[in-house]
Structure 1
Amino acid sequence: MIFWILVAAMTAAVAAVLLYPLLRGAKAAADDRAGEAAVYRDQLRELDRDLAGGLISAEEADYARAEIGRRLIAVSGAASEPSRPRVGRHLFTETFVLLLLPLVGLCLYTTMGRPDLPSQPLQARLEHPGNDLAILVSKAERHLAENPDDGKGWDVLAPIYYSTMRIDDAELAYRNAIRLLGPTAARLDGLTETLMKRSDGTVTEEITAVLKQLLQLEPDNPRARFYMALGLEQAGQKQQALAGFQALAKASAPDAPWLPLVNEHITTNGGTPTQAQPLGNPTQADVAAAEQMSTGDRQQMVKGMVESLNAKLTENPDNLEGWLRLIRSYAVLNDREHAVDALKRGLATFPANGEKGKQLLALANELGIATEGLTE
């Protein structure tokens, strides 16, 4: 009820502000005409005094009196109907301000707003944020301001900061989480990505120290191994960088999503790239045939294998491993449109809220495939 009273008061105030110039203009015009009439009456009285004092002749007095009288009649006639010109000029404007403006505002509010919702102050929104990321972050920040040693809070907030490109805040959150909860592969990996974003892709000494700590916990971490090799490449140590990229390629699955990028760096450093197979478990005949093919023919063979798997999944969609391979295969082929389509079809069989659906979404996030709108 208070809300509607405030709305009515604000509407009345706006209407008054808009109408004031119109009303004031009409009143000013009426005041001007009344002033002119008073001047003409003074002139008539002065004319009589001049005639009585012999300053002017009777003929001149009659002529002047006729002219002043004509002007006085004209002004008095206009003053007797002050509203006519104003109505003609401002009727539509006043109608719009008094009636249509509030009506338009109410229609817009009922269409675009949520009048059915009760009023909810900031405190209540913070206690029940729902899916509002900004409120979730605000709530977490307020909590951490009061409890700066809550490592779990920093751990939750760090990836959110990174995803919203608050890089400095993300670094602080990751470092606090590591300091309070201890280093884990996930936290060190997130810190690495944050520092790489801040350095615009340059592997600094600070990043190298974090990578070494990460590899102690997870020696086979492909991201850490890639960045270590990249740091050697940026430092001009091409042979060591090549060895690092080749070791990563050898340890990677044939359909690993990072393999094409690794192959690019192998080529850059003078090596021979490893050919990626988008599907797992190729037959010996497939391998032998691929070795004899040109690059274009090999690519066609790969696409044929992907289409074959796609056809099998269309006939029998209840195959989680098949969907995972198909999504990864399209990503390796840099065919994002078909990768998203495969993800949608896979989620139609394995809903996003189920364990298998979560595996599909996790793979999509790993490959950088957008999942917005697919989890509802």
Structure 2
Amino acid sequence: MLFWIIVSCVTALLAVALLAPLLRRSATAGGEHAHDVEVYRDQMAEVHRDAAAGLISAEEAENARAEIGRRLLSSADKASKETGVAAKASRHPLAQAFIILVLPAIGIGLYLHAGSPGVPDAPLAARLANPGNDVALLLAKAENHLIQNPDDGAGWDLVAPIYLRNRRPADAANAYRQAIRIRGESAERLSGLGESIVSSNQGLINSEATDAFRKALSLDKNDARSEFYLAFALEQEGRGMEALAAFQSLAKTSPPDAPWQPIVAQHIATLQKGPAETKPNPDAPGNPTAADVAAAQDMNAGDRQQMIGNMVAGLDEKLKSNPNNFEGWMRLVRSYAMLKQADKASDALARALKAFPAEGEQGKQLVALATQLGIKAPEAKP
């Protein structure tokens, strides 16, 4: 009943709004000549006052009254005619009937045909309580809950992967961080955080994401997502043979029907082609041998990491005895940075710049690499 009362009130207000211009027209029509009539009457009164005060002669007053009177009669006649025409024009019985009767009948008929007057309304709170398959409503419900309960770790766990699937990586990263803060680290949360960071960086795997993936693998050595991104990080760094070994190991340990197998196979095929920018110089010290690559395929993540650390240390020793190797210094600085050994990376950079001064072309590349990796270059001595 309340619904129909509201409909009636809205219909009445709409009808008044539509009729107002028609009714107002009769009151305002003919305004121009009606105004002239008022002006001439004022002028006539002014002539009478001037004649009584002796400001003008009787003859001048008579002539002025005659002229004003003529104009007054003419304007009054025109105003009367326009008012009559406007009054006729303002009578629109068909338009008024259409507005008052036909429009409401059409609107109500359409609603009864296409609407659902018998269905109760569904306020936002009720829709949030039962979102069904509506992801937007589900997120809105969860976000509203988390605003009121920011320490609900289960809620953050719920929304984090949903954010990631809906291409909101920054929100996903924040949700994973909150879940880790409240519920602690797990392989799922850490690898999800790493993937969110990578997505936020347009696919670039930075040190924060790498740390998250490594921690995830330390908790679950079979975390395929972390293995994939760590292998991809090696590929991004130009360490093609190491990346190839990591991808091949992931393909070997994963089920044949795993959903990530096709993309892993693509990376393996690309790396096996050996593009120029990722193919290491065989003469550069510290490159893994074919035997190293084969051995890495059968290692777990921890053993592979240990092998990488040994290779970096070996590269460092060889560069001490043979510093005239630009590619080796670039690899060493990058390797120490990725291993989170900032002091060793800075020291390696300083030694590299002794062999390749900063003002030279190769020295500039070393400084640019250090800037990219967040390593402070040594100050030039005067």
Structure-2-length-normalised TM-score: 0.55
Q: 1:110-121 residue pairs with structure 2 within 5 A?
A: 110=112, 113-121=115-123
Say which of 233, 237, 244 aligns to 2:239. 237
Give the C-alpha shift of residue 172 in structure 1: 2.2
Q: Does structure 2 conserve the Cα–Cα contact (< 8 Å) formed by 1:245 and 1:266?
A: yes
Say which of 253, 257, 260 aligns to 1:258. 260
**Residue 228 of structure 1 pairs with residue 253 of structure 2:** no
Matched residues in 2 for 1:264 and 1:132: separation?
35
Say which of 270, 273, 281 aligns to 2:272. 270
Give the C-alpha shift of residue 130 in structure 1: 4.2
Matched residues in 2 for 1:128 and 1:152: separation?
19
Give the C-alpha shift of residue 43 in structure 1: 9.6
Distance 1:270 1:87, change over 3 A: same
Aligned to 2:298: none
Matched residues in 2 for 1:144 and 1:63: separation?
86
**Residue 86 of structure 1 pairs with residue 90 of structure 2:** yes
Matched residues in 2 for 1:80 and 1:36: separation?
17
Aligned to 2:164: 162
The AA in structure 1 aligned to 2:189 is: R
Give the C-alpha shift of residue 115 in structure 1: 2.7
**Residue 247 of structure 1 pairs with residue 249 of structure 2:** yes
- Tell which deviates more after alignment, 181-190 or 222-231: 181-190
Aligned to 1:76: 80
Task: Provide the aligned C-alpha RMSD in A.
Answer: 4.3
Give the C-alpha shift of residue 2 in structure 1: 4.0
Structure index of larger Rg: 2
Aligned to 2:24: 24
Q: Does structure 1 conserve the Cα–Cα contact (< 8 Å) formed by 2:173 and 2:197?
A: yes
Aligned to 1:145: 147
The AA in structure 2 aligned to 1:192 is: G
Q: Does structure 1 conserve the Cα–Cα contact (< 8 Å) formed by 2:195 and 2:209?
A: no
The AA in structure 2 aligned to 1:232 is: L
Matched residues in 1 for 2:113 and 2:135: separation?
25
The AA in structure 1 aligned to 2:83 is: A
Q: 1:324-335 residue pairs with structure 2 within 5 A?
A: none
Give the C-alpha shift of residue 120 in structure 1: 4.2
Q: Does structure 2 conserve the Cα–Cα contact (< 8 Å) formed by 1:26 and 1:86?
A: yes
Q: Does structure 2 conserve the Cα–Cα contact (< 8 Å) formed by 1:242 and 1:266?
A: yes
Aligned to 1:327: none
The AA in structure 1 aligned to 2:24 is: R
Q: Percent identity?
A: 42
The AA in structure 1 aligned to 2:160 is: A
Distance 1:249 1:137, change over 3 A: closer
Give ranges in structure 1 of 5+ residues lacking alignment: 273-376
Q: Secondary structure at the match of 1:200?
A: coil
Distance 1:262 1:73, change over 3 A: same
Q: 1:213-362 residue pairs with structure 2 within 5 A?
A: 213-271=215-273
Distance 1:218 1:95, change over 3 A: farther
